[in-house]
Amino acid sequence: MAVSLLTILVITLSGLSLTFLFAKSETFLWRLAAGNIVGSAVFGSIGFIIANFFGLSLFTAAAAFAIASLPIFLLRGKDVKRQLKEEWQWGLDKTQGVSFKRLRRLGYYIFFLVLFIAFFDRAMIIGADGIFTGASQNLGDLPFHLGAIFSFADGNNFPPQNPSFANAKFTYPFIADFLTACLVKLGASVQSAMLVQSVTWAFSLLVILERFVFKVTKSYLGSKIAPLLLFFSGGLGFLWFFKDYWYGTQSFFEIIWNLPQDYTIGEKFRWGNSMITLFITQRSLLLGMPLVIIVLTYWRKVFHFDWNVNERNEKQGESTYLPFSFEPFFVGILAGTLPLIHAHSLVVLFIVSAFWLIESPKHIREWVSFAAGVIVIAVPELFWILSGSATSTGDFVAWHFGWDMREDNLFLFWFKNTGIFIPLLFAGFAFLLVSAFSYLRTEKQKADEANFGKELASKTRSYVYFLLLFYAPFLAIFVASNIAKFAPWEWDNIKLLIYWWVGSLPFVSFGLAWIWGKGKYFKPLTLCLLVFLTLSGALDVWRVASAQMRHQVFDKDAVEIAEEIKKTTEPNALFLHAPTYNSAIVLTGRRSLMRYIGHLSSHGIDYEERDDDLKRIYSGGAMADIFLNKYGIDYVLLSPRERELLQINEPYFMKYPVWAEVGEYKVYKVK
């Protein structure tokens, strides 16, 4: 744990120093959060380049860490030191003394920090009897990520092949898992590295989202509400919870500590709470989303669209005569790391950039600089990903109406899955316009009584235009995701739809804050609306964080045979085993001919020929010899999973030496 914490602290300070290259004035807490994300992206990118040439070892991981830490020296600059000191002092002043407001602010962050620790600690549980997960949706995803991590840390998988589909390029965005492997090489355990990464990334997302919403809405309360709506997202599933309680035999406290099911994902609900279906299962998004929001926060500043007239006149400090702008170029470099961090996040940035550029061509210089930065990093990454990939891109885009609504009516589906979120979205939009009009009216009366009416109308039109421009790409994402699918499995559109949710948060959270501010009689109403929006998600998050589940992923024998395999086989050895998500080979870092069909199909990989050949090998006979030679199989695993899922001719394999054996697990060396 100490190694993980120390490494991430240094990387965070390095990233913090880089934030001064594009964010001149910010809060110290935001800089720490953004520094964690920026530093992780830089460390991962540098480490991946080095590992492709020299492999991943303690030396190369340390070298990447040292290079990624070099920006810390920027903190020695006079202007940076002065600005950082001011931001630190401002943050310190906010915590000085004892008051209910300060305690409430501190309690807010402590609550989320404790929640994240308790929640992500359940992602991977190591016990005497095997490896478990305490999250219902993580049963297949945990071994997938462990397979990637161990392939880097123990399999020397560079340039990366798909550990689940040997001899094919690994095109899944793997930087999050690669960073975990780097921490492992530096001395951390896989479990502690994953925990520290997830907690710090989630907390960074909290702070970055909070700041983003505040800059869009100027509502302090709204900015505090927004993370609640993201981390406890859900629909009307809480009604089914009350049904389970009413018709059950348990008391309220008994059922709270023994929840029978998830209430945001399943047969009745498809949205899924972000914590249990995305952030704990798809680790890449937990790094990609805050990076996207950092970029969007920067572009909000470039546009100068805000109802605060003083901020609108703020200058960037760069010469308008230069054809090139450094700030957007550097932000573009950060965005360019997204193909290997989270590809769907890069798609979202493309969509938002396209809309905003079309609607605001006067910022063409900034856009060109930004595009240049993206191209420098993203184009080589995309070229590497797409060349020689086993993924069929044609399987990713097809017409598909209604996302994953199944038999539901479209409007009923979205109401059931998101509750009152969409109605509050429209209300918040209207409330924001009313508040902006009121603010601008006051400001113009102070500034210039003579041209009051004309100037007020102009400013109001400008702000309405900003809101429409700001929200248009997110609305486009929502519409597109409801008329087409952008992955072989339609549910994976959630990777885009979650950004529609994020883009809607400023309006929904402002709407709640506006109602709260109408007086003491409206405060209970606001609390009721907030409960309606978050109770289903809170139940699912609570079910994980309170340790109510413990699903076995690998048994004790699987863990032990994996250790034997790592000790006695070559790092690039090719294994044959049943196409299941939890094969012991996952823990070895060795390559598999093919693993879980569900993962392969969702990644657009045509696995059917290999699947047929795999079954023929296990059935034995002359054809088995041919296919073993065809694929160059080194070792074959026989375990309870193979015996359960396949028809095995065990006498056939007895002609080969047993290379390792633990309990019912046997490894045959066939080459």
The per-residue pLDDT for 621 is: 81
Does position 90 have pLDDT exceeding 50, yes or no? yes
Does position 290 have pLDDT exceeding 70, yes or no? yes
Burial class (CB in 10 A: 0-12, 13-18, 19+), 321: exposed
Burial class (CB in 10 A: 0-12, 13-18, 19+), 95: exposed
219 residue type, one letter: S
- What would the mean pLDDT of 233-253 be, rounded to a whole number? 94
DSSP codes of every residue in 5-35: HHHHHHHHHHHHHHHTTT-SS--HHHHHHHH
Does position 353 have pLDDT exceeding 90, yes or no? no
The per-residue pLDDT for 451 is: 56
CB count within 10 Å of CB 186 equals: 17
- What would the mean pLDDT of 323-334 be, rounded to a whole number? 86
Residue of 418, 387, 410, 36 lying closest to 206 (CA atoms): 36
Does position 620 have pLDDT exceeding 80, yes or no? yes
The per-residue pLDDT for 98 is: 65
Contacts of 472 (CB under 8 A, 6+ apart): 355, 359
| Band of pLDDT at residue 453, cut at 50, 70 and 90 | low
The per-residue pLDDT for 323 is: 53
Does position 448 have pLDDT exceeding 60, yes or no? no
The per-residue pLDDT for 299 is: 86
Q: What is the pTM of this model?
A: 0.94
Phi, psi of 141 (to 5 degrees): -75, -35
Burial class (CB in 10 A: 0-12, 13-18, 19+), 4: buried
Which of 543 and 621 is assigned the larger pLDDT? 543
The per-residue pLDDT for 408 is: 86
The per-residue pLDDT for 316 is: 42
Residue of 213, 457, 212, 174 lying closest to 337 (CA atoms): 174
pLDDT digits (tens, 9 = 90+) for 190-209: 999 999 999 999 999 999 99
User: Which residues sit opposite 125 in a β-bridge?
Assistant: 132
- What would the mean pLDDT of 63-89 be, rounded to a whole number? 91
Contact 43, 11 (CB under 8 A): yes
Does position 69 have pLDDT exceeding 70, yes or no? yes
Gap between the Cα atoms of 572 and 61, Å rounded: 20
Phi, psi of 148 (to 5 degrees): -70, -45
- What would the mean pLDDT of 474-480 be, rounded to a whole number? 96
Gap between the Cα atoms of 402 and 409, Å rounded: 9
3-state DSSP helix/strand/coil percent for the chain, to nearest 5? 65, 5, 30
Residue of 541, 629, 419 lying closest to 116 (CA atoms): 541
Q: What region does 351 belong to: left with phi over 0, alpha with psi -120 to 50, or beta?
A: alpha
Question: Which strand (E) or helix (H) includes residue 209?
Answer: helix 190-217
Tokens in use for 19? Answer: 């934030």
Q: Of all residues in the chain, what percent carry a pLDDT higher than 70? A: 91
Which of 534 and 601 is assigned the larger pLDDT? 534
The per-residue pLDDT for 311 is: 43
Sign of the dihedral defined by the CA atoms of residues 237, 238, 239, 240, in that order: positive
Q: How far is CA 210 from CA 216, 274, 282, 362, 563, in A?
A: 10, 16, 22, 29, 44
| Band of pLDDT at residue 517, cut at 50, 70 and 90 | very high
Does position 313 have pLDDT exceeding 50, yes or no? no
Gap between the Cα atoms of 392 and 160, Å rounded: 18
The per-residue pLDDT for 432 is: 85
| Band of pLDDT at residue 395, cut at 50, 70 and 90 | low
User: What ranges in 257-325 are assigned the alpha helix state H?
Assistant: 274, 283-303, 309-312
Q: Distance from CA of residue 638 to its chain's centroid?
A: 36
Q: Residue 160, SS3?
A: coil
Contact 276, 233 (CB under 8 A): no
- What would the mean pLDDT of 507-529 be, rounded to a whole number? 95
Which of 124 and 441 is assigned the larger pLDDT? 124
Question: Averaging pLDDT over each range in 163-177, 189-203, 358-372, which range is the top one?
Answer: 189-203
